Chains A and B, each alone.
Chain A
Amino acid sequence: MEKTMNKVIITVVGKDTVGIIAKVCTYLAENGANVLDISQTIVSGYFNMMMIVDLAHARKRFGDVSREMDALGEEIGVSIKCQQEEIFEKMHRI
């Protein structure tokens, strides 16, 4: 049976700067994570991006991706958070 999706929500919040999306997407591409959706907005003057990513065929496990994204965020100067999708799905869908 084909491996089902492993959807993860990545949120990036911080001061807007050049190359945030590029750096995050580069990391995801290098690690075989498929981006399903991206939306971006400004909340209280801060850059706010949400990505829905499928890790089913990724080369790394969720825990490692989460840690490395966190480190990448520190490098760029933004906060990057990885959460499995269920928490949003359960809270906002009946």
Chain B
Amino acid sequence: MINIWEVNETNEMIEKENLDVRTITLGISLLDCIDSDLDKLNQKIYNKITTVAKDLVAVGKEIENNYCIPIVNKRISVTPIALVGGAACKCPEDFVTIAKTLDDAAKKVGVNFIGGYSALVSKGMTTADENLIRSIPRALAATDFVCSSVNVGSTKTGINMDAVKLMGEIVKETAECTKELDSLGCAKLVIFCNAPDDNPFMAGAFHGVTEADAIINVGVSGPGVVKTALSKVRGENFEVLCETIKKTAFKVTRVGQLVAKEASKKLGIPFGIIDLSLAPTPAIGDSVADILCEIGLEHAGAPGTTAALALLNDQVKKGGIMASSYVGGLSGAFIPVSEDQGMINAVEAGALTLEKLEAMTCVCSVGLDMIAIPGSTKATTISGIIADEMAIGMINQKTTAVRLIPVIGKDVGEIVEFGGLLGYAPIMPVNQFSCDAFVNRGGRIPAPIHSFKN
């Protein structure tokens, strides 16, 4: 039988170490809503989402009450809208109407975010894909909860450099369209390489076409729990360190598995995957950077950071894999800057640069995330940064992503405040040398060779 020490350990994790389930994300296929009439399409989308997800928030709250575990977000992901809207939308403005429908549906069912305003263009763009991409700035400015993502490359197809170039411009335009809100629109836009079909985390969640009609995916969290566990093994060797992370990740993930199974049972929707993640929040003690410090670094970004992050990421997966029947999504440690107080401190101390962050993304999920850069940064420079990150994903057969916020009207040294879980960030300097000629070439980078690994 469970004993008092085990009960206290679990409750301390929840009460003092910010253990939570970060998100229950309900994936909904909108393929059966496709219609060549735009009004009918919007109506079908609204009806389907508000029917399938009507109990999501209530069930989430019930589970929270049953176990006293916070479930921070309840979210929805849908089929990439470029696919759903292709038959009805003849111009970018048509796609914006779908964004508004998604936003209305999200508000009706009471979720925090709805993802899937997306296009998958890793090899080429259809007219619908391009129209959707060109509508992103206005769609994100006209909605509150819609999140957008574009997959511009994969290990199998290479990198669509035309899309990379376009996305640099779209990120800039999104920043301009939401400049009154410190370019907040860009916090809801992710550019991917090797995007997974079942990611429950925003802003990059969408419901892939390989998925069932509806599915429950759960993202766990718990950097504070790992940090606290590691503080008890200070000075011990790497074996002890790694074992501690594994055991802790196991416990954290088991809670996610329980919540996912319960949500699945109560909603009558199949369980998809657990995303084994260390997802930080701006709350004190809920930081991945603090774990890196606990492992032995003065600040995230110091020499040794990439190795420390690599071992952390790997042990989280090793511990989590056994705790869950199905694992998927992004799974690993997230290193968003604005959403992690330890990362913010590291940037402010001068320990962490964009280039070091890029190196860190080689060994963890997911990428250059929630990084504020000067609003004056050129679109081609943003495309260059995107291309670099996509190349890391393509060559290393992993998911990588870019979520940069060029804050219009602000420059290095200033602070931008996004609020809530999105946090705040010091604006980081960007390498000023030009990559115009590279980005403007046009075409594709071919898929990489899968042998001769060095």
Interface residues of A (CB under 8 A from B): 9, 11, 36-37, 39-41, 43, 48, 50, 52, 62-63, 66, 81-92
9 residue pairs of the A-B complex, CB under 8 angstroms, read: A9-B2, A11-B7, A11-B11, A48-B4, A83-B68, A87-B68, A87-B255, A88-B6, A92-B251
B430 at interface, CB cutoff 8 A? no
Within 8 A of A (CB), among B1-37: 1-4, 6-11
Residues of A within 8 A of B68 (CB): 81-83, 87
Contact A41:B4 (CB < 8 A) given known A83-B66, A84-B67, A87-B69? yes
Whether A92 lies near B11 (C-beta < 8 A) is no
Choose one: A37, A62, A90; the contact of B254 (CB below 8 Å): A90
**Contact partners of A41 in chain B: CB under 8 A:** 4
Smallest distance from the beta carbon of B138 to chain A beta carbons, Å? 44
Give chain A residues whose Cβ lies under 8 Å from the Cβ of B2: 9, 52, 85, 88-89, 92
Closest B residue, CB atoms, query A62? B66
Q: Which residue from A48, A66, A90, A91 sits with its C-beta under 8 Å from B65?
A: A66
B255–A84 touching, CB < 8 Å: no
Does the CB pair B10–A87 fall under 8 Å? yes
Give the interface of B toward A (CB within 8 A).
Answer: 1-4, 6-11, 65-69, 251, 254-255, 257-258
**Chain B residues, Cβ within 8 Å of A37:** 1
Closest-by-CB residue of B relative to A40 is B4
What is the predominant secondary structure among interface residues of chain A facing chain B?
strand
A81 to B258 CA separation, bound complex (whole angstroms): 19
Bound: A9/B69 CA distance, A:
14
Report chain A residues within 8 Å CB of B10: 87-88, 91-92
Chain B neighbourhood of A92, CB < 8 A: 2, 6, 9-10, 251
Q: Which residues of A contact B4 (CB under 8 A)?
A: 39-41, 48, 50
A77 to B152, CA, bound (A): 58
CA gap between A42 and B371 in the complex, in Å: 46
Residue from A40, A43, A86, A91 with most neighbouring chain B CB atoms (10 Å): A91
Q: In angstroms, how far is the closest chain B Cβ from the Cβ of A69? A: 12
B229 smallest CB distance to A (angstroms): 13
Say yes or no: A83 contacts B251, CB within 8 Å: no
A-B contact count (CB 8 A): 59
Cβ–Cβ < 8 Å partners of A62 in chain B: 66
Complex Cα spacing A68 to B1, Å? 25
Q: Are A91 and B251 in contact (CB under 8 A)?
A: yes
- Tell me how far the C-beta of A4 lies from the nearest C-beta in chain B, rounded to whole angstroms: 16
User: Closest approach, in angstroms, between the C-beta of B147 and any C-beta of chain A?
Assistant: 30
Q: Closest CB of chain A to B72's CB: distance in Å?
A: 16
Residues of A within 8 A of B11 (CB): 11, 81
From A9, A36, A86, contact of B258 by CB (8 A): A86
The winner among A41, A63, A86, A89 for most chain B CB atoms within 10 A is: A86
A52 to B258 CA separation, bound complex (whole angstroms): 19
A9-B2, A86-B258, A90-B254 known; A50-B7 Cβ under 8 A = yes
A11-B11, A87-B10, A87-B258 as given contacts; A39 in contact with B67, CB under 8 Å: no
B7's closest neighbor in chain A, by CB? A50
Set of chain B residues within 8 Å of A11, measured between Cβ atoms: 7-8, 11
Say how far B264's CB is from chain A's closest CB, in angstroms.
14
When chains A and B are docked, how far (Å) is the Cα of A42 from the Cα of B308? Answer: 37
In the complex the two chains form, what is the Cα distance from A11 to B8 in whole Å? 9
Question: Least Cβ distance of B164 to chain A in Å?
Answer: 43
What is the distance, in angstroms, from B58's C-beta to the closest C-beta of chain A? Answer: 12
Contact residues in A for B7 (Cβ distance below 8 Å):
9, 11, 50, 88
Lowest 4 CB-CB distances: which A-B pairs, in order? A87-B67, A50-B4, A39-B4, A90-B254
For A50, the closest partner residue in chain B by CB is B4
**Complex CA distance for A85 and B257, rounded to whole angstroms:** 15
For B6, list chain A residues within 8 Å (CB): 88, 91-92
Closest to A85 in B: B2
Hey, which chain A residues are within 8 Å of B3, CB to CB? 39, 50
Select one of B8, B254, B258 contacting A43, CB under 8 A: B8
CA of A88 to CA of B8, assembled, Å: 10
Contact indicator A91/B1 (Cβ below 8 Å): no
A68–B277 Cα distance when bound, in Å, is: 35
**Cβ B1 vs Cβ A63 within 8 A:** no
B residues less than 8 Å from A52 (CB atoms): 1-2
Please measure, in the bound complex, the distance between the C-alpha atom of A90 and the C-alpha atom of B21, giving whole angstroms: 14
Partner among B8, B66, B255 whose Cβ is within 8 Å of the Cβ of A48: B8
Contact yes or no, A91 B255, CB < 8 A: yes
Task: State how many angstroms separate the Cβ of B341 from the closest Cβ of chain A.
Answer: 26
Q: Which residue of B has the minimal Cβ distance to A36?
A: B1
